[in-house]
Every structure is written in structure tokens, then in C-alpha cells.
A and B are shown apart, each in its own frame.
Chain A
């Protein structure tokens, strides 16, 4: 299964405009990444905070019955997609405007 997941990550990174993917654990340590190490660590550290806050928001507003599934950050140049799943968080950075 782990191998299949690796394959999917590879496939995602082969898409148009995708800069890289990071799989990190809940502490913000990148486990798999296609980015450079420094950049991945940077992203992971910042995004883990944001994800944590988002989870808190969803949990508190739903009374602990709901969970954060997806976070999509669209900026001028990039789109950062964050998918928290249990103990892991998946992050994909894409440049959607690239031709």
C-alpha cells in the first residue's frame, strides 16, 4: 500500500505546474517530500501550525463531531493544498497559471 501511495505522489508531482508534494506527520516533520529539504521543512513547519488551527476551529464549531478534511490556499502565484489525514498531513504546492 505504501508503494501505491508513493506512486500516487509521483503521479501528482508529474502534473502540470506542480512544484512538489510533502507528506509530514502531525508534528510538522516532513516524511516524504519531492521538494528541497530546506523548503520542505519551511513549508511543513508553517503549514502544520495552520492545519492545527484549522482542526481546532472545525472541532470547536462542530462540538468535536467533525474533522478538517481539506484546506486550499490560493494565492497569486501558487495554490497550496493541504489534506490532513489522521496522523499525517499531505501538502501539494501547485502553480496553476503555468502553461
Chain B
């Protein structure tokens, strides 16, 4: 049985840990709110951009622009979006396992996947398993900006056009709710031309300045950037949500532990008191009978 002093020391240490998890939870809650706001504010732009895209692509064939070219897929670029920091429950591991499964599958089929890591966790995971990583981006995951997305997109677009990649997918945690994050694989290149659903509602063709083809050249890279930006924002919100949930659980685990340790402490103290009393009584009796 541990001594009173040992138990007291453990209680103090668990209490300190709980203070940390509690404040991490509150910090994550604040960051989650900010990330959710950022995601919400980005929606009108994304919606409008898709609107223009559909208008421009109506009746356009796949060879109208290199970013629309569907080639037989041999080389897939995987943009894996994780967090830089841990302590966020199963946030990274579920996603990384999924990616690894897909990679193995592609390698078995004699395809040539390439890996790009956004976030330390993706980089470390695949480096430890000796996959080669073609590029990494650290320090953007928790609060991504559209400039970060532009930089990632530029690299992807360049390789896609050069033929180094036949498709580019981004893998990220989708923010479903504060409690639920879901790994998601989304193809960002080549862009697909939406199929008209018989809704030829364009009565009067709008004026395009510059021409439709030139416009595509300006617009399509933006669309790719925006899709990646969206993935980064979702992932950031999901990360903070996951960390908040994990820290919430850790805090309540610590409470439970403190409770059971306190019980143990009281029992031990009572036992010590009883023992002391017995000794006094025993001593007195010995004196009386002497």
C-alpha cells in the first residue's frame, strides 16, 4: 500500500495535468470558433466561383484546357492534410491509415503514387515507414490562408501540366460537427466538366471578356486553389474540434482519477489513525496490567 505522502503527490500531479488539459480544451474551443468562422466566410466565394465555372464550362470539351485533361492514371499525387501537433485523439491516425491503405493498393497495382505532406504528422508518419515524400508544408495546418492554398496549388498544377502527375487528390478530415470528423478523399485535378442536366437555361449567352478560352486559363487555377483552400479550412476546423473533444475526455478522466485517489488517500489516512489509536490503547492497557 502506497504511503500517504505518495498518494498526495499523485493527486497533485493529476490535478496539474488536469489544469493543462482544461486550458487546452478552452484554447481549442476558441480556435475552433475562429476556424469555423473562416470556413463560413469562405463559402460565398466558393459558391460564386463554381457558378462562373459552370457557366464557362457549359458545352466545353475536355481538351479546352490542360487542367481538364483526363489521362489514364498512373501517377497520382496525394496531398495529405494533417495537423502539426498531436493531442487530438484519432484525428490524424484514422486519416493516415486510410492513406497508407490506398497507397499500398496503388503500389500493388504497379501505379506510381507520390506523397505531399501538409502538417508534421503526415510527414513523420510516412517518413517513419520509409515512404518517400516529395514535398512538405509545415506550419499552415492550424490557421491556413488562401495564400498557402495558392502555393500548394501552384506546385500541383505545374506537375499536372508537365505530365509528372496524372491526377491530384487531396485527403483531409472533413468537419462534420464538433464531435465528428470524417477522412475524405477529393480529386482536385483534373477538374471535371459538370454534365448538363438538360437545364439549358442560358437564353442569352453572356458577354465574356476576355474570350471564353482565355477566361478558362485564368479561372481554372483559381478553382483548384479554392478547392485546396477549402480542404485546408475544413481540416483546421476538424483539428480544433478533435482536440477539444480529446481534451474534454482527458479532463473528465483526470477528475475520475482524482476522485478515486482521494478515496484511497482517505482510507489510508483512516487506517493510519486507527493504527495509532490501537497502539495508544494497547500501550495504556499494557501499563494498566503491569
Does B associate with A? Answer: no
| B residues with CB within 8 A of A | none
